Amino acid sequence: MDWNPYIHSGLILVAITIAFLTIMLLCAATVLAERRVLAFIQGRLGPNRVGFGGVLQPFADFIKTMMKEDLVPDQSTRFVFLLAPMIAIVTAIMAIVVYPFGPTVTLPFLNWTFPLVIARFDVALLYVLGVTSVGVYGIALAGWSSNNKYSLLGGLRSAAQMISYELALGLSLIGVVLLSGTLDIYSIVEQQSGWYGSQWNIIYQPLGFILYLIAAIAETNRVPFDLPEAETELVAGFHTEYSSIKFLLFFNAEYINMITVSMLATTLFLGGWNVPFAESLFGRGTLLFALICVLGFFAKIMFFLFLYIWLRGTLPRFRFDQLMDFGWKFLLPVAILNIVLTATVLFFTTG
Amino acid sequence: MSSTLNIPPQFEIVDRPLDTQMTISMGPQHPSTHGVLRLELVLDGEMVVKATPDIGYLHTGMEKLFEYKKYQQGIVITDRMDYLNPLGNNLAYVMAVEKLLELQIPERAQTIRVLMCELQRIASHLVWLGTHALDIGAMSVFFYCFREREKILNLIEAASGGRLTPSYFRIGGLMMDLPSGFERRVRQFQDAFLKSVDEFHTLLTGNRIFQNRTKGVGVITAEDAIDWGLSGPCLRGSGVDLDIRRTNPYTSYETYDFEVPVEQDCDVWARYMVRMREMKESHKIVAQALARLKPGPVKADAPKVVLPDREAMKTHMDALIHHFLIVAEGFDVPAGEVYHPIEASKGELGVYVKSDGGPKPSRVHFRGPSFVNLSALPHMSEGAMVADIVAIIGSLDIVLGEIDR
């Protein structure tokens, strides 16, 4: 009997579990980091009581939020109200599976070789964009079903905002796709290895990178584009009526979205798991090399997460019409210009 | 499901004739209505068709309370009106009563009054800046402002013993002289403050998002501003050069060298710039007041009105008698009525005191600048968006304690 399919499935299950736990822990770490870094930016201390230096604070928050009463407003559309947070979290987590977070590893003694990616298929990038754009349903439906005017405004804002910025986001990635000639994220990362980091796409697509960064911030509803939940205008926006575990799901979804867009930026523009000089120092395929690469990957993600927090500590918020103007009248034309430029250059260089 | 409604009949949803419009109740519990202001917004999408302020949620009957308190006890009530500018309130009330009593205030007391009032103006503007920036979404500015304000509150606490409710100015002078080392502490604050203002400018003034959010928003022309009775930075932001410290000087403001910032843009941005520049002017006035601080008495020579020193009470019989009479019976204020305006941090703060003789006023009325400035909100917010409303409220710098009284 051929056991290989079973081993393969088992390995994927293990990988999914590990990835899920990693993402959840990273999410918790981001929440803590956000509170601590923001506190230091603002001349405060931040939470530093639970655990050593406050490391257990996210878990304390988690337990506290879980204990709250799970309220469903009387006049809400109950089914949709329950469905919305699920859509938000599921679509957020689903995008994780395609990101390679390390090179192919060969385990010593066992001689097992496997790539550090859960699922590898040739339209991975398209899949990521598709799945993340479903996420807007979670927010829009939450805003609509709560039967609260503030929630409704938040939901409408986010629907308009995410659809507009989805365009710029997608178009900003086309340059990279043109360069690599593939939608398979794994190959895109492989193509960026070597040459001590000078193969990273950011060097050939600086404009695309900046466009992607801006659109990604808007896509994840973070400052300065946090209009759907602008707390000084709409109280809490689309999740005004949500409490307990449902609120937690939205909250988690936001942070996982932050992590996924950071992962996408890392894999497409910053060479994914590629660390300059690591290959020549440790040799490709060794366990140490893989470890360095995985650490490098997470370090790059954390750089983006820090950028998010930094921006939140610095910038004011856009107004709704200005946000739309910025998306349609600036980001979109520049993204198209970027595509035309890239295509022209490619046409003349590669023939 | 939505069919299982058990709503009391009085809360039934009324059909609106225009189904494109939505009425939304903003406040009294809302993060950016600065306390307990309630706005009834009629929205068409995100556009505001009509904004109606609804006040009274903080009404405590303070003005009536004055009629049951002796004159010197009223000072404590003024602290609680505009709680971001308590020394200004103290000053307005105290000077109105002093006008009735025709008291002469010693020079040192006057200088200290100017010094403390300008410090308080900076503190009040810092709270405004912090909350205004927070409303627009810039979170960190809030903390930087409160860090600076904390230093001023510490100074006020050192002088008076209270941080938010100092009651430092008394009828006929001050509660007591400044503590030793106070000048040094003020200078320390002064040195660090200008750098902080530059920091705020870096964070906000040059920021494109902030400019977009404030320029051309909440416009009120000079004529309209005068018609609506605006005062203070809101009026000067509309290009009207009116400052009571200049036009109707009190506590020898005429001897100080300062500019009155005026901006012509008539919008939220102009009011922002006026207040930012005003902080620097106040900083200048504080420096001048510090320089002319000479030793001397801080209480008027009026033993029947001003409480005697602690030392005098232990050694002089008549001081003890005066103390007992002032505390137990109060002092008689000659009959008459008086209106005294000052330039508080938010605008013209006027105090009307009517006396029928006797130790208690027969009527005290405050012309609160926040109240009058807020009344122009519906005019300013025509055609604005929800986010603009928040910016406009922030630029008016209202304090609900003063509006509701």
Question: What number is the average pLDDT over the span B179-192?
Answer: 90
Here the ipTM equals 0.82
Closest-approach residue (CA) in chain B for A230: B137
Q: What is the pLDDT of residue B206?
A: 85
How large is the average pLDDT for residues A9-37? 86
CB contact under 8 A, B386 and A38: no
Q: Do A43 and B147 touch (CB under 8 A)?
A: yes
The span from the CA of B196 to the CA of B201, in Å, is 9
Question: In this structure, what token pair is assigned to residue A149?
Answer: 């005017």
Q: Give the CA distances from residue A324 to residues A200, A216, A261, A339, in Å, rounded to whole numbers and listed in that order.
A: 31, 15, 21, 21
Q: Which of A221, A225, A315 to mutate to test the interface with B (most CBs of B within 10 A)?
A: A315
Q: Are B231 and B242 in contact (CB under 8 A)?
A: yes
DSSP string, A93-121: HHGGGG---EEEEE-TTT--EEEE-S---
**What span, in angstroms and rounded, lies between the C-alpha atoms of B333 and B271?**
40
Residues of A in contact with B139 (CB under 8 A): 38, 42, 223, 312-313
Write the DSSP string, B52-93.
Answer: EEE--TT---HHHHHTTS-HHHHHHHHHTTSTTSHHHHHHHH
Residue B82: per-residue pLDDT: 86
What is the distance between the alpha carbons of residues A106 and B327, in angstroms, rounded to a whole number? 90
Max intra-chain CA distance, chain A = 65
For chain B, state the CA radius of gyration: 23
Quote the pLDDT of residue B1: 41
Looking at beta carbons, which residues of chain B come within 8 Å of A322? 209, 212-213
Residue A263 has pLDDT above 60, yes or no: yes
**B383 contact A CB<8A:** no
- Comparing CA positions, the residue from B150, B277, B125, B120 lying closest to residue A43 is B150
How confident is the model at residue A71, as a pLDDT? 83
Chain A (36-55) residues lying within 8 Å, Cβ to Cβ, of chain B: 38, 41-44
- Residues whose CB is less than 8 angstroms from the CB of residue A187 and which lie 6 or more positions away in sequence, other chains included: A180
Instruction: Give Cβ neighbours of residue B348 (< 8 Å, ≥ 6 apart).
Output: B231, B232, B244, B341, B342, B367, B369
Helix axes B182-200, B139-160, angle to 10 degrees: 170
Average pLDDT over residues B180-201: 89
> What is residue B12's predicted lDDT score, i.e. its pLDDT?
52
Residue with tokens 């500590």: A313
Neighbours of B47 (CB within 10 A): 15
pLDDT at res. B7: 56
Q: What is the CA A86 to chain-centroid distance, rounded? A: 17
Per CB-CB distance under 8 Å, the chain A contacts of B212 are: 318-319, 322
pLDDT in tens, A122-175: 888 888 888 888 888 888 888 888 888 888 888 888 888 888 888 888 888 888
User: Is the CB of A42 less than 8 angstroms away from the CB of B139?
Assistant: yes
How many Å apart are CA B350 and CA B355, to the nearest integer?
A: 16
Which residues does B4 contact at the CB level (< 8 Å), separation at least 6?
A74
Q: Give the tens place of pLDDT for each residue, B252-306.
A: 888 988 889 998 888 899 999 999 999 999 999 999 999 998 888 888 888 888 8
Test the A interface: residue of B381, B386, B389 with most A CBs within 10 Å: B386
pLDDT tens digits, A84-97:
899 988 988 888 88
Q: Which of A43, A226, A235 is opposite residue B31, by nearest beta carbon?
A: A235
Chain B, window 13-32: residues with a beta carbon less than 8 angstroms from a chain A beta carbon:
22, 24, 30-32
Given pLDDT bands bounded at 50, 70 and 90, which one contains residue A242?
Answer: confident
Mean pLDDT, chain A, rounded, equals: 83
Say if A233 is an interface residue toward chain B (CB within 8 Å).
yes
Mean pLDDT, residues A11-40: 86
pLDDT band, very low/low/confident/very high, at B60 (cuts 50, 70, 90): confident
Separation between Cα atoms, residue A17 and residue B164, nearest integer Å:
55
Whether the CB-CB separation of B217 and B392 falls below 8 Å is answered with yes
Residue closest to A189 by CA, chosen among A283, A263, A268, A104: A268
Per-residue pLDDT tens for A271-298? 877 777 767 777 766 777 788 888 888 8
Closest Cα in chain A to B389: A233
**Closest approach of chain A CAs to the CA of B25, in angstroms?**
9
Average pLDDT over residues B7-19: 54
Sequence-separated (6 or more) residues with CB below 8 Å from residue A36: A46, A47, A48, A54
The pLDDT of B78-86, averaged and rounded, is 88
Among A residues 195-224, those touching chain B with beta carbons less than 8 Å apart: 223-224
Instruction: With CB atoms and an 8 Å threshold, state whether A312 touches B139.
Output: yes
Residues of A in contact with B24 (CB under 8 A): 149-150, 153
Residues in chain A: 351
Instruction: Express the helix, strand and coil content of chain B in percent, nearest 5 each.
Output: 50, 10, 40
Q: Would you call B388 an interface residue with chain A, using a CB distance cutoff of 8 Å?
A: yes
The tokens for B313 are 């009470």
Closest CA to B169 of B78, B94, B248: B94
When pLDDT is averaged across residues B69-84 and rounded to a whole number, the result is: 89
State mean pLDDT over A187-207. Answer: 77
Give residue B2's pLDDT: 45
CA distance B76 to B365: 15
Name the residue with tokens 């109740």.
Answer: B25
For residue range B97-119, list pLDDT tens digits in order.
998 988 888 989 999 999 999 99
Say yes or no to pLDDT of B368 above 90.
Answer: no
The C-alpha atoms of residue A74 and residue A82 are separated, in whole angstroms, by 13
Give residue-wise pLDDT tens across range B327-352. Answer: 998 888 889 999 999 998 898 999 99
Q: Higher pLDDT residue, B155 or A285?
A: B155
Q: Which of A78, A227, A231 sits opposite B31 (nearest CB)?
A: A231
pTM, to two decimals: 0.87
Are the CB atoms for B261 and B274 separated by under 8 Å?
Answer: yes
Please indicate whether, in this complex, the C-beta atoms of B134 and A232 are within 8 angstroms of each other: yes
> How much is the average pLDDT of A302-316?
88
First to last CA, chain B: 45
Q: Cβ separation of B209 and A77 shorter than 8 Å?
A: no
pLDDT at A198 over 70: no
Q: Is A170 exposed, middle or buried (0-12, 13-18, 19+ CB in 10 A)?
A: middle
